[in-house]
Amino acid sequence: MQIIFLCMLLITANIIWADIEAPDQEARIRQLEKTLTRIQQESQSTYQQFLMIQELRRNEMSEIPQIVPLPNSPEQSIPIPNYKDLIQLKQDQQGRIDKYTTDLNHLYGRYQELEVEKRTIFEQIKSLEQKTGTIE
């Protein structure tokens, strides 16, 4: 008789514990889902920034700097460009390309970090859902 009573007590305690633990897990799941949504939005924003800077860099690399304005009429001669000006334009262009490259590397690294965070949170949500599913 005592064994039956002890089993009933354990079963009741398990049911009560599951009822107490389940709302906490559900609240934790909701919190993780909110965090996951925020990270997904940041990830999308980072990816869009990456694409924009990539396009700026591509345009900058394909652009040929025009230092000398072309004459309006065929009778006018084309002025000879100053060598220092040409070098300065080329250095400025290379500086912009280098900055874009640095920005792209930074954004790519941040995007990868966010993807790892998303996977980790998703695995936590799955684990909590499985625990909640086994308790019910």
Distance CA 67, CA 71 (A): 13
pLDDT of residue 13: 47
Domains contained in the chain, number: 1
| 54 is a domain residue | yes
| 20 is a domain residue | no
| 13 is a domain residue | no
Q: What is the mean pLDDT of residues 126-135?
A: 77
Tens-digit pLDDT profile for residues 19-52: 445 568 888 999 999 999 999 999 999 999 999 9
Tens-digit pLDDT profile for residues 63-117: 876 665 666 777 777 777 788 988 898 999 999 999 999 999 999 999 999 999 9
Torsion of CA 3, 19, 119, 49, to 10 degrees: -170
pLDDT of residue 26: 87
| 72 is a domain residue | no
| 19 is a domain residue | no
| 7 is a domain residue | no
- Quote the domain boundaries for residue 128: 25-63+81-136
